[in-house]
Chain A
Amino acid sequence: MLTTNNLTKTVKLPEQSLTILSEVSLTVNEHDSVAIVGASGSGKSTLLSLLAGLDTPSEGEVELAGHPIHKLSEDERAAVRAQYVGFVFQSFHLLPGLTALENVMLPIELKEDKNAQTKAKELLEKVGLAERLNHYPHQLSGGEQQRVAIARAFASEPKILFADEPTGNLDTANGEKIIDLIFDLNQQLGTTLVLVTHDDRLAERCQRLVRLEAGKVIEDSVNESFEQAKTAETA
Chain B
Amino acid sequence: MRGMAWRLFKRDWQSGEVKVLFFALMIAVMAMVAIGTITDRTHRAMGEQSSEFLGADYTLRSPRPIEHDWLEKGRSDGLELTESTGFSTVLAKGDEFQLVSVTALGGKFPLKGEFEIADKPFTRGQTMQAQPEQGTAWVEPRVLAVLGAEKGDTVDFGSIQLTIAGVIVGGPGQASEMFNVAPKVYINQADVERANIIQPGSRVSYTLFIAGDIQSRENFIDWVKPQMNKTQRLTGGKEGTPALQASIERAETFLRLASLISVVLAGVAIAVAAGRFSRRHYDYAAIYRCLGMQIAQVHRLYLSQLIIMGLIGSALGVALGLLIQQVIIVQFADFLPKPMVPINWAPVIAGGLSGLVVLIGFALPAFFQIARVSPLRVLRKEMVPQPVSSWLIYLLAIFTMALLMWWQSGSLKLVGILLAVALVAFVIIRLMAWLIFKVGLWIGKRGSTAVRYGLGQLKRYPAFTISQVTAFGLAFIIMLSTVLIRSELLNEWQSQLPEDAPNHFLINVQPSEVPNLESILAEQNVETAGIYPMVRGRVTGLNGKPIEEAVSEEAQNDGSLRRELNLTWVENVPNANTVVKGEWWNDAGQPDEDGVYQLSIDQNLAGRLGVDIGDVFEFSIGGVDVEGKITSFREIQWDSFQPNFFMIFEPGALNENMATYITSFYLPAEKKPTLNTILREMPTVTIIELDAIMEQVQTILDQVTAAVEFIMLFVLLAGIAVLYAVLQASKEERVLSSTLLKTLGAQTKFIRMTLLSELALLGIFSGILGVIGGEVLVFVLYQEALDIEPVLHPWFWLWVPLIAVAFICLAGWWGLKSLLKQPAHQVLRQL
Contact = CB atoms under 8 A, between A and B. Distances in A.
A69 B418 CA distance: 52
Given A54-B290, A81-B290, A96-B15, A75 B295 contact: yes
A82 B7 CA distance: 22
Given A78-B375, A93-B287, A110-B292, 16 more contacts: A49-B376, A54-B379, A55-B374, A74-B295, A75-B296, A79-B292, A83-B292, A87-B291, A93-B283, A95-B284, A96-B11, A97-B12, A106-B288, A107-B292, A136-B11, A156-B291
B293 interface: yes
Interface in A52-106: 54-55, 74-75, 78-83, 85, 87, 89, 93, 95-98, 102, 106
Counting contact residues on chain B (CB < 8 A from A), the size range is 20 to 34
Interface string B251-290: 0000000000000000000000000000000011001111
Contact of A87 (B7, B297, B378): B378
Interface in B61-119: none
Contacts of A81: 290-292, 375
Interface of chain A: mostly helix, strand, loop or mixed: helix
B743 interface: no
A96 B380 CA distance: 19
Contacts of B573: none
Interface centre among B11, B292, B374, B376 (most CB of A within 10 A): B292
A78 B378 CA distance: 14
13 contacts: A55-B374, A75-B294, A75-B295, A82-B292, A87-B378, A89-B378, A93-B287, A96-B11, A97-B12, A98-B7, A110-B292, A110-B293, A110-B297
A144 interface: no
B10 to A, nearest CB: 8
Given A87-B291, A110-B292, A49 B379 contact: yes
A87 B379 CA distance: 11
Interface residues of A, number: 30
A48 interface: yes
A45 interface: yes
A106 B291 contact: yes
Given A97-B11, A98-B7, A107 B379 contact: no
A155 B376 CA distance: 21
A63 B288 CA distance: 22
Contacts of B293: 78, 82, 110
Interface string B219-250: 00000000000000000000000000000000
Interface string A107-143: 1011000000000000000000000000010000000
B798 interface: no
Contact of A48 (B8, B288, B294, B379): B379
B82 to A, nearest CB: 68
Given A87-B291, A93-B287, A97-B7, A54 B375 contact: yes
A206 B288 CA distance: 28
B7 A78 contact: no
Interface of B: 4, 7-8, 11-12, 15, 283-284, 287-297, 374-376, 378-380
Nearest to A82: B292
Contact of B379 (A45, A74, A75, A82): A45
Given A54-B290, A83-B292, A85-B292, A97 B284 contact: yes
Given A54-B290, A93-B287, A97-B8, A164 B15 contact: no
A144 B509 CA distance: 101
B291 A110 contact: yes
Contacts of A45: 379-380
A95 B294 contact: no
Nearest to B296: A75
A95 B288 CA distance: 9
Given A54-B379, A97-B7, A164-B379, A78 B284 contact: no
A164 to B, nearest CB: 6
A45 B380 CA distance: 9
Contacts of B7: 97-98, 102
Q: Which 7 A-B pairs have the closest CB atoms?
A: A82-B292, A97-B11, A81-B292, A54-B376, A97-B8, A54-B375, A75-B294
Contacts of B283: 93
Nearest to A111: B292
B295 A97 contact: no
A91 B412 CA distance: 54
Contacts of A95: 284, 287
Contacts of A75: 294-296
Contacts of B295: 74-75, 78
Contacts of A79: 292, 294
A55 B376 contact: yes
A81 B291 CA distance: 6
B379 A78 contact: no
A97 B8 CA distance: 6
A22 B15 CA distance: 44
Contacts of A107: 291-292
A7 to B, nearest CB: 16
B378 A54 contact: yes
A107 B290 CA distance: 10
Nearest to B17: A97
